Amino acid sequence: MASLNVGNLGEYLREQRRNAQLSLRQLADAAGVSNPYLSQIERGLRKPSAEVLQQVAKALRISAETLYVRAGILDAERDRDEVETRAVILADPSLNERQKQVLLQIYESFRKENGFGVGEPAAREGHAAERTEGAEVPGDTAERGIRTAGGSDAGPRQTAG
């Protein structure tokens, strides 16, 4: 088979697998892919799908976005800051998986609020994207006031007197 110019990805995966002290077979089992297929990816003979890269990244406990960039799925220059931010969040050992996912959702909501869609720089448009009506954005509760159990905004408290 001819190389599909994914050698950089394969070399990186091999390095990450060795750093994690996993055999090829162990990583293949953890990622849910066949041993020969993973071997071909590492040798640059196969270009895996985004789904396979996500499974491998999860098994290695590394950023799937980093693998997407190395595989050419994401544009490295345009998405570098976002990828690095996501990688730092995902690599933080003090956070559990649920906390990492929540933090990534908050990060993405702020990016969208500031005019950055998924992989879309706001500078291209020159203005922030409009907020979707009724969209709940983390952090907004401080601006609107505290919500009561009944769903209404709590205004200033009045005292009898």
β-sheet bridge partners, residue 117 = 120
Stretch 107-117: mean pLDDT:
83
What is each CA distance from 78 to 84, 119, 120, 124, in whole angstroms?
12, 7, 8, 11
More confidently predicted of 77 and 73? 73
**Which of helix, strand or coil describes residue 117?**
strand
pLDDT in tens, 119-152: 444 333 333 333 333 434 444 433 333 333 444 4
What would the 3-class secondary structure string for 26-62 be?
HHHHHHCCCHHHHHHHHCCCCCCCHHHHHHHHHHHCC
pLDDT in tens, 24-55: 999 999 999 999 999 999 999 998 988 999 99
Question: Average pLDDT, whole number, for the chain?
Answer: 73
